[in-house]
Amino acid sequence: MAEESSTSDVRMRGFARRSTVDDAQRWVDQHTAPLPSELVGLLDAGGRVLAGDIIADVDVPLFDRAMMDGFALRADDTLGASAGAPVTVTVIGQVLPGDAARHAVQPGQAVRIMTGAAMPGGADAVLPVEHCVAEGSTVRVLRSIAPGKNVGRRGEDIAHGEKVLDAGRRLRPQDLGVLSSLGAAQLTVIRRPRVRIVATGNELLPPGSRPEANKIVDANTPMLMQLICRDGGEPITRGITADRPEAIVEALGDEADVILVSGGTSVGQEDFAPQLLAQRGELAIHGIAMRPGGPAGMGRLDGRLVFLLPGNPVSCLAAYDFFAGRAIRRLAGLPTEWPYPVVRRPLAKALESVVGRVDYARVQFVDDQVEPLAIGGASSLSSTTRASGFVVIPPDCDGYPAGTMLEVHLYDPC
């Protein structure tokens, strides 16, 4: 299981032991559950997670309506009609979308009607304009039609009392359209977790800067912001945090549900975050048997989850996906599983690993086969842009020979 909280200083000493990925994920699951719900307006609900089932309290549509432009009439009046032997009916009025049908149709009568307009009483079918000839106040019917033809019935789309959407659903654009058709003005959704990004490093320049001598531009913050949004969170960033204990302590005090510390989390002389978290809260896990991402850690401070993410970009990405992203999704009420599509493809050449650790191997597709790109190279973020996706090699495996069918997690949707 996860190692106990400790105030021991591992800087310049290395990890005495490493927790397994499974143990770290179990710790995440034990300390996360969906956040409380809140009420939001319909137009602000896109991408949010429903806190409860949606049950229709009206029929949609609320009235019988025309599904084509033409004439609303009684189907019986069209029996036997043909181009050679048309039937004539009298037009007694017109109804347009949004208007009330003012005329009830009697035998031998019709009402001119447009698509979406309410059906008049007495009419049970709509004769399309192409199947008739209008002549003043009469219409010659050139084809017989059946009752109900070209009529949309009340409640045909959604019936009163029907369950429309399940709790836990992340609302899509079309869902908002359906909810609007039901008359929903506000929705009860899971509150988004607020996620503070603490990017540390005296060598860092803010995103948008130009690289310069002895300095590098912060690549992790823009990446983490998009990942947090993908996973249902609300990212918060306040610029670069200096590699000074007092600056890190101040940043850790920000109000948030989750704190992500990017950089300064390993065993180097300037890696203060793990010791500070252990002293002021709980450092539950530090050092994980995985590559990249091994220096990652996690714990709690004043009831908030804190994830220590390595500064090297690919390590940061891997540690986020395995642990922090999992926590954010659970807090947001989303599925725990990775939001990556999975495909199976044969391995073009051997993919080697080391027993005892989980490997996050970037791969690309060449001629519909899997070509390994990298397992190491934690600072080579460009390997993820060249990659089609990644393969997870479990700790009991030393790799795969060529020809093995592998599950590849795709960075892009199918």
Residue 412 pLDDT more than 90?
no
Higher per-residue confidence, 10 vs 173 = 173
**Which residues touch 251 (CB under 8 Å, ≥6 apart)?**
196, 198, 200, 238, 241, 259, 261
Separation CA 80–CA 310 (nearest Å): 80
Both tokens of 391, joined, read 């393969």
CA 270 to chain centre: 37
Q: Among 185, 139, 189, 194, which residue's Cα sits nearest to residue 305?
A: 194
Looking at residue 269, what is its pLDDT? 72
Both tokens of 228, joined, read 């947090």
| Same domain as 215, residue 97 | no
pLDDT (average), residues 345-350: 96
Separation CA 148–CA 397 (nearest Å): 64
Query: Domain for residue 261, yes or no?
Result: yes
Residue 341 preceded by cis peptide, ω within 30 = no
| Same domain as 173, residue 56 | yes
- pLDDT tens-digit map of 175-229: 999 999 999 999 999 999 999 999 998 999 999 999 998 899 999 999 999 999 9
Confidence at 271, pLDDT banded by 50, 70, 90 = confident
Looking at residue 6, what is its pLDDT? 42
Query: Domain for residue 74, yes or no?
Result: yes
CATH code of the domain in which 366 resides: 2.40.340.10
Residue 356 pLDDT more than 90?
yes
Looking at residue 17, what is its pLDDT? 81
Last residue of a domain, one of 286, 301, 331: 331
| Same domain as 223, residue 104 | no
| Same domain as 303, residue 364 | no
| Same domain as 86, residue 48 | no
Per cent of the chain over pLDDT 70 is 94
Separation CA 317–CA 389 (nearest Å): 13
Number of structural domains (the chain) is 4
Only one residue has tokens 């059946």, namely: 146
pLDDT (average), residues 331-354: 95
Contact at 8 Å (CB) between 274 and 14?
A: no
Looking at residue 371, what is its pLDDT? 95
3-class DSSP state of 325: helix
Query: Domain for residue 181, yes or no?
Result: yes
| Residue range of the domain that includes 133 | 65-152
Confidence at 9, pLDDT banded by 50, 70, 90 = low
| Same domain as 229, residue 167 | no
| Same domain as 239, residue 382 | no
DSSP 8-state code for residue 232: T
Looking at residue 270, what is its pLDDT? 67
3-class DSSP state of 200: strand
CATH code of the domain in which 170 resides: 3.90.105.10
CA-based radius of gyration for the chain: 31
* 300 CB burial (10 A radius; 0-12, 13-18, 19+): middle
Looking at residue 16, what is its pLDDT? 65
Separation CA 62–CA 405 (nearest Å): 53
Query: Domain for residue 182, yes or no?
Result: yes
Q: Among 370, 322, 326, which residue's Cα sits nearest to residue 345?
A: 370
| Same domain as 209, residue 307 | yes
Query: Domain for residue 3, yes or no?
Result: no
Residue 353 pLDDT more than 70?
yes
Per cent of the chain over pLDDT 90 is 86
| Same domain as 317, residue 262 | yes
Residue 13 pLDDT more than 70?
no
| Same domain as 248, residue 366 | no
Where would I find the H helices in 192-337?
220-230, 245-252, 273-280, 313-319, 325-331
Contact at 8 Å (CB) between 265 and 295?
A: yes
Looking at residue 236, what is its pLDDT? 97
| Same domain as 178, residue 50 | yes
Confidence at 1, pLDDT banded by 50, 70, 90 = very low
Confidence at 4, pLDDT banded by 50, 70, 90 = very low
3-class DSSP state of 308: strand
CATH code of the domain in which 77 resides: 2.170.190.11
- pLDDT tens-digit map of 50-85: 999 999 999 999 999 999 999 999 999 999 999 999
pLDDT (average), residues 251-262: 94
Confidence at 5, pLDDT banded by 50, 70, 90 = very low
Looking at residue 380, what is its pLDDT? 73
Both tokens of 375, joined, read 């397992």
- pLDDT tens-digit map of 109-155: 999 999 999 999 999 999 999 999 999 899 999 999 999 999 999 99
Looking at residue 14, what is its pLDDT? 54
Average pLDDT score over the chain? 92
Looking at residue 402, what is its pLDDT? 96
Looking at residue 283, what is its pLDDT? 95
pLDDT (average), residues 398-408: 96
Confidence at 381, pLDDT banded by 50, 70, 90 = confident
| pTM exceeding the 0.85 threshold for the entire prediction | yes
pLDDT (average), residues 393-411: 96
| Same domain as 172, residue 197 | no
201-232 burial: b if 16+ Cβ within 10 Å, else e: beebeebeeeeeeeeeebbbbebbbebbeebb
Confidence at 12, pLDDT banded by 50, 70, 90 = very low
3-state secondary structure 104-146: CCCCCEEEEECCCCECCCCCCEEEEHHHEEEECCEEEECCCCC
**CA-angle at 81, arms to 77 and 87, nearest 5°:** 60
Contact at 8 Å (CB) between 389 and 410?
A: yes
CATH code of the domain in which 197 resides: 3.40.980.10
pLDDT (average), residues 7-34: 80
Query: Domain for residue 12, yes or no?
Result: no
DSSP secondary structure of 367-379:
TTEEEEEESS-TT
Query: Domain for residue 269, yes or no?
Result: yes
Last residue of a domain, one of 298, 331, 364: 331
Separation CA 261–CA 273 (nearest Å): 8
Sign of CA dihedral 31, 37, 38, 40: positive
- pLDDT tens-digit map of 298-324: 999 999 999 999 999 999 999 999 999
Residue 347 pLDDT more than 70?
yes
